[in-house]
Amino acid sequence: MSAKKRALFLDRDGVINVDIGYLHRKEDCVFLPGIFELVRRARRMSYDVFVVTNQAGIARGYYSDEMFAEFTRWMLEQFEAEGAPITQVYYCPHHPTAGIGEYLKVCECRKPAPGMLLRAAQEHQIDLRASIFVGDAVTDMQAGFAAGIGGLCLLGRSLPQDVPSGVSLISSVSEAEARLTDGSATDVGGNSC
What sign for the dihedral angle of Cα 182, 128, 68, 15?
Answer: negative
| CA separation for the pair 76, 154 (Å, rounded) | 23
The model's confidence at residue 3, banded by pLDDT at 50, 70 and 90, is: confident
pLDDT at 6 over 90: yes
pLDDT value, residue 184: 34
Q: List the domain boundaries for the chain.
A: 7-177
- CB-count exposure of residue 157 (10 Å: 0-12, 13-18, 19+): exposed
Q: What is the mean pLDDT of residues 16-44?
A: 97
pLDDT at 145 over 60: yes
One DSSP character per residue, 159-178 reads --TTSPTTEEEESSHHHHHT
Share of the chain above pLDDT 70, in %: 93
Residue 109 contacts residue 118 (beta carbons within 8 Å): no
Strand, coil or helix: what is 89?
strand
pLDDT value, residue 181: 72
Mean pLDDT lowest among 40-44, 171-175, 178-182, 187-191 = 187-191
The DSSP secondary-structure symbol of 10 reads E
pLDDT at 69 over 50: yes
Residue 40 contacts residue 86 (beta carbons within 8 Å): no
| CA separation for the pair 193, 169 (Å, rounded) | 9
Q: What are phi and psi of 170, to 5 degrees?
A: -125, 145
Q: What is the mean pLDDT of residues 6-15?
A: 98
Query: Mean pLDDT, the chain, as a whole number?
Result: 93
The DSSP secondary-structure symbol of 27 reads G
Residue 129 contacts residue 189 (beta carbons within 8 Å): yes
Strand, coil or helix: what is 126?
strand
pLDDT at 67 over 70: yes
Q: What is the mean pLDDT of residues 23-47?
A: 97
Q: Which architecture, in CATH terms, is 7-177?
A: 3-Layer(aba) Sandwich (3.40)
| CA separation for the pair 43, 147 (Å, rounded) | 22
pLDDT value, residue 1: 53
Q: Catalytic residues, which ones?
A: 11, 13
Q: What's the pLDDT tens digit per position in 77-120?
A: 999 999 999 999 999 999 999 999 999 999 999 999 999 999 99
pLDDT value, residue 179: 87
